[in-house]
Amino acid sequence: MFIVHRNFIIFLLSIIVRRTDSDEVHSILGTYTAVTRYEFTSVLWLDGEAVDSYSSDSAAIMPMRNWMREGDGHDLWNITRRLNMEQWDRGRTAILNDKGIRMAGAAVLQGRFGCEIELNPYLRITRTFAQFGWNGEDFLSFNFSRKKWEASVGSAVPIETKWNSDTDIIKNITFYLDFLCVRHVMRSSSYEEKESQETPQPTAALFAKRYPNTGKVILTCLVSGFRCINMTVGFYRDKDILAEKDGLLSTGIRPNGDGTCQLRKSLYISNSTEESYRCGVHFGNLTVKWDGKIWDLAVDHSKRHHYWLLAPIVLFILMLMLIWFTAVKQDKFTTEV
Ligand SMILES: *[C@@H]1O[C@H](CO)[C@@H](O)[C@H](O)[C@H]1NC(C)=O
Ligand SMILES: *[C@@H]1O[C@H](CO)[C@@H](O)[C@H](O)[C@H]1NC(C)=O
Ligand SMILES: *[C@@H]1O[C@H](CO)[C@@H](O)[C@H](O)[C@H]1NC(C)=O
Ligand SMILES: *[C@@H]1O[C@H](CO)[C@@H](O)[C@H](O)[C@H]1NC(C)=O
Ligand SMILES: *[C@@H]1O[C@H](CO)[C@@H](O)[C@H](O)[C@H]1NC(C)=O
Ligand SMILES: *[C@@H]1O[C@H](CO)[C@@H](O)[C@H](O)[C@H]1NC(C)=O
């Protein structure tokens, strides 16, 4: 296990392409973090959503989309990931082999590569990403308009000079950003669109239950049926959004077993219906309002226990009957023969 400092997360995520409302902006981004000289982890993002994660010390990569699992979709995902990773590998090797740079202690090398395109009214590359970070700070990046690598710190200058004088490297990254990545993003987004149309829309429910023994009332928000991504559920009291510090509890994202996931958030509330509560998909348009009804749970745990105690006895009787039945049958069989 390794611990990634907050800054490094910020480096990785700070420019992850926001999920736009427009269907016409699409992006691919591969993010990489070297944890030792030989090992790294990576995540591939499509339109700002993580679609797989990979660790160089484990063989299997789990794609989070059905279209990536077989056939042409699988091949597309495979090549998208492989060509993106080639860019990282070149830098990782060069930077970690550089005499002036040492991967020791808490040092972390990161990379991000990809492109963002807009399709409306015509195809246009809006952003490109080819960057390395060292200990959470910018280190070396490719300026797509100048077609030059640019060092952000002195220790990156030797690599900058070397790469800028190597036309193969410049051509290679330009071809990747300008052509391959654009092709991959266009093809992936058509698979994404198809799959999202097949995916059911999430549902949200907000209900309160009173527990008989304690008299406590717990208000639960259940959002279910979304694709298993980093869903955030907003829970509001009047106009305020509630957080963990307000006593909000979360189950975390759990699979439903059908490829979709659910997330439950709950809150102990007072035994009154005066406050108004609302919950739903954060930044989404799906929200539900609490109807103010408190359901009394009529579960009597002591009675339930009695029933459970009966179960072994019933089972025992059934077994006796079975043995008896088999014995009689066998008896009959032997007499007939
Ligand atoms: C990608 O394709 C290569 C070559 O066809 C194959 O060796 C590799 O296992 C594939 N990777 C995945 C993740 O399917
Ligand atoms: C890339 O180079 C252009 C032209 O020199 C410059 O205007 C632009 O700011 C540079 N981009 C970045 C991200 O540094
Ligand atoms: C680009 O560079 C990568 C890694 O250095 C290499 O595997 C790939 O073949 C190159 N692609 C082209 C088109 O030159
Ligand atoms: C909560 O309120 C209901 C009616 O509003 C009442 O019947 C019940 O006794 C109250 N429970 C507690 C524990 O205060
Ligand atoms: C999921 O989203 C929450 C809130 O936006 C964020 O704090 C958390 O780091 C995210 N987790 C991942 C794995 O992206
Ligand atoms: C909410 O958004 C979804 C897609 O994001 C859309 O299909 C639906 O019509 C919207 N509902 C309302 C009430 O705006």
**One-letter-per-residue 3-state SS of 189-255:** HHHHHHHHHHCCCCEEEEEEEECCCCCCEEEEEEEEEEECCCCCEEEEECCEECCHHHCCEEEEEEE
Count of structural domains, the chain: 2
**Would the pLDDT of 187 be above 90?**
yes
**Would the pLDDT of 293 be above 50?**
yes
* pLDDT of amino acid 121: 81
Is the CB of 230 inside a 6 Å radius of any atom of ligand 5? yes
- Do 66 and 43 lie in one domain? The reply is yes
Of 198, 226, 261, the position where a domain reaches its end is 198
CA of 284 to the centre of ligand 6 (A): 8
E strands in 101-188: 109-118, 124-134, 137-143, 148-151
Q: Which residue has the higher pLDDT, 129 or 333?
A: 129
Tens of pLDDT, residues 86-142: 999 999 989 988 767 776 666 889 999 999 999 888 899 999 999 999 988 899 999
* pLDDT of amino acid 178: 95
- Do 94 and 77 lie in one domain? The reply is yes
- Do 268 and 192 lie in one domain? The reply is no
CA of 120 to the centre of ligand 2 (A): 24
- Do 263 and 207 lie in one domain? The reply is yes
What's the pLDDT band for 186 if we cut at 50, 70, 90?
very high
| Ligand 3 atom nearest 171 alpha carbon | 14
Please report, for the domain that includes residue 156, its CATH number: 3.30.500.10
- Do 221 and 183 lie in one domain? The reply is no
Residue 26: inside a domain: yes
Residue 184: inside a domain: yes
Tens of pLDDT, residues 162-173: 999 999 999 999
Is the CB of 272 inside a 6 Å radius of any atom of ligand 5? no
Closest C-alpha to ligand 1, atom 13? 78
Residue 319: inside a domain: no
Mean pLDDT over residues 196-208, rounded? Answer: 81
Are 61 and 47 in contact by the 8 Å Cβ rule? The answer is: no
Three-state SS at 22: coil
Of 198, 213, 241, the position where a domain reaches its end is 198
For residue 22, CA distances in Å to 27, 80, 281, 287, 336 come to 12, 23, 19, 21, 81
Domain that includes residue 286, residue range: 203-296
Residue 140: inside a domain: yes
Is the CB of 174 inside a 6 Å radius of any atom of ligand 3? no
Closest C-alpha to ligand 1, atom 11? 78
Is the CB of 90 inside a 6 Å radius of any atom of ligand 3? yes
Residue 330: inside a domain: no
- Do 130 and 262 lie in one domain? The reply is no
Mean pLDDT over residues 221-228, rounded? Answer: 85
* pLDDT of amino acid 301: 52
CA of 68 to the centre of ligand 6 (A): 26
Tens of pLDDT, residues 22-67: 568 999 999 999 878 888 899 999 998 888 888 877 767 778 888 9
- Closest by CA to 22, choosing from 95, 99, 126, is 126
Q: Which one of 42, 72, 78 would you pick to mutate in the ligand 1 pocket, going by the greatest count of ligand atoms within 8 A of its CB?
A: 78
* pLDDT of amino acid 299: 57
Order of strands, edge to edge, in the sheet holding 148-151? 62-63, 49-55, 40-46, 25-34, 109-118, 124-134, 137-143, 148-151
Is the CB of 9 inside a 6 Å radius of any atom of ligand 5? no
Are 181 and 45 in contact by the 8 Å Cβ rule? The answer is: no
Measured CA to CA, the distance from residue 321 to residue 156 in angstroms comes to 82
* pLDDT of amino acid 105: 67
* pLDDT of amino acid 142: 97
Of 182, 198, 214, the position where a domain reaches its end is 198
- Do 153 and 238 lie in one domain? The reply is no
Residue 116: inside a domain: yes
| Ligand 4 atom nearest 216 alpha carbon | 13
E strands in 270-302: 277-281, 287-289, 294-296
Structure tokens at 23: 């269907």
Q: DSSP state, 318? A: H
- Of 4-13, 174-183, 203-212, 296-305, least confident by mean pLDDT is 4-13
- Of 44-58, 115-129, 205-219, 301-315, least confident by mean pLDDT is 301-315
Decide: pTM greater than 0.75.
no
Closest C-alpha to ligand 3, atom 2? 172
Residue 303: inside a domain: no
Q: Which one of 112, 144, 145, 174 would you pick to mutate in the ligand 2 pocket, going by the greatest count of ligand atoms within 8 A of its CB?
A: 145
Q: Name the strand (E) or helix (H) holding 32.
A: strand 25-34
| Ligand 2 atom nearest 144 alpha carbon | 1
CA of 278 to the centre of ligand 3 (A): 53
- Closest by CA to 149, choosing from 166, 134, 125, is 166
CA of 271 to the centre of ligand 4 (A): 6
- Do 68 and 193 lie in one domain? The reply is yes
The bound ligand whose nearest atom lies closest to the alpha carbon of 127 is 2
Is the CB of 324 inside a 6 Å radius of any atom of ligand 3? no
- Do 207 and 193 lie in one domain? The reply is no
Is the CB of 232 inside a 6 Å radius of any atom of ligand 5? yes
Residue 164: inside a domain: yes
CA of 79 to the centre of ligand 1 (A): 8
Structure tokens at 148: 């030059």
- Do 240 and 97 lie in one domain? The reply is no
Please report, for the domain that includes residue 234, its CATH number: 2.60.40.10
- Do 138 and 254 lie in one domain? The reply is no
**Would the pLDDT of 183 be above 50?**
yes
- Do 111 and 239 lie in one domain? The reply is no
